[in-house]
Structure 1
């Protein structure tokens, strides 16, 4: 199980890091963007198959379980908190640090049909929570004997995956990552994290689109 967990972590973080989607689907037109989105879903599916077929563990071992009323309630509560952190970041923290938002990256995400933008935000909420939250927190926590170690390392990996967006986005992602990690550690409910993550991205980039 030790080597299976290590291999699973290498897959979860390695596949996105080496840019397989970008290599297979280069370009900024609609078709390659759809291809890159499909690649992310494939990465997440591989990890789910790894858990169930190779590690032979239930999906509950990475916090993936049937949603309950509490799932939606806590997801909405943390979505509100994440949106508050976004507004605080752009209104106070980022100006105080004299940082500037990477508008080129933002425009690249919203300069697509609305349906594709929404699909991207949902994909981010689902796939990133599997690859950067549920699986690594549980497996690193098991390997280290401390769940907080898994939480810290998974948070670092999540933020690092967004570092190319610029330092201002680093602040926003770090706040969001901390809140989502807290939600997972508290409730061990990955669907709640997925919903909160997707809602924050959907609303945040909808606002950017409206002002773009």
Structure 2
């Protein structure tokens, strides 16, 4: 988590929070609109790779600019390579355990291909292996951007806005979980619940435990990659 050595008032944290929210949402919308303008037809399959590429380039820039308002750098909120092999292994292990639980127990028991999130993702991946490739690229670029925003920017600037301390951290963590789940509403209730449990609760706790973003990024991206591969192999 951020350890800001400089004295920063709540006003700066609030400004960083609001600017970051606006810029991140602008990048999220733009990353979907721009490919739809230049690519023929509806976005599907490999097209989603371009969404992730746009997000990681402009998203990280936007978040870095917003953090500077609170006199923070990306490194200060956990985007650094300290001990990255160990952190990457921890993240991969978390993703693998969640994937095993999901695809051996939860998804088959809750509708399989008929689940709202499964159906949505299968439609986006499309009928060819190139769709899986596109989603794996999106998994790593998009996940990195989301982790830097949700765990790195949103949680830390909201905590600072609330005055810091234990209760502010708890409130900011809860808000991070809720916002992450809500923004996955396009996947239906199944997607909201799963996103809240894994991308919300699990990855937020992982960030609070490890204090860097490496494990979170790998856990997020590896799970998304495994999901794309297994959905295509089992349900397409």
TM-score for both structures, normalised by structure 2: 0.75
What pairs with 1:1-212 in structure 2 (closer than 5 Å)? Answer: 1=8, 2-17=10-25, 19-26=29-36, 27-28=42-43, 33-41=48-56, 42-51=58-67, 53-68=68-83, 69-87=85-103, 88-92=105-109, 94=110, 100-111=115-126, 113=130, 114-144=132-162, 145=164, 146-176=168-198, 177-211=200-234, 212=236
Q: Give the CA deviation at 1:16.
A: 4.8
Counterparts in 2 of 1:175 and 1:8: CA distance versus 1, 3 Å: same
Q: Deviations over 1:90-135 (max 9, x none)?
A: 244x35xxx8334442123322624322111112220110111211
The answer (yes or no) to whether the contact 2:181–2:196 under 8 Å persists in 1 is yes
The answer (yes or no) to whether the contact 2:95–2:219 under 8 Å persists in 1 is yes
Moved more, 153-162 or 137-146: 137-146
Unaligned runs of 5+ residues in structure 1 are: none
Q: Distance in 1 between matches of 2:123 and 2:141?
A: 16
Counterparts in 2 of 1:4 and 1:115: CA distance versus 1, 3 Å: farther
Moved more, 185-194 or 136-145: 136-145
Cα RMSD for the two superposed structures: 2.6
The answer (yes or no) to whether the contact 2:184–2:192 under 8 Å persists in 1 is yes
Q: Distance in 1 between matches of 2:47 and 2:108?
A: 35
Moved more, 134-143 or 6-15: 6-15
Q: Deviations over 1:62-103 (max 9, x none)?
A: 1222141331232123223322453443244x35xxx83344
Q: Distance in 2 between matches of 1:89 and 1:13?
A: 33
TM-score for both structures, normalised by structure 1: 0.83
Moved more, 19-28 or 139-148: 19-28
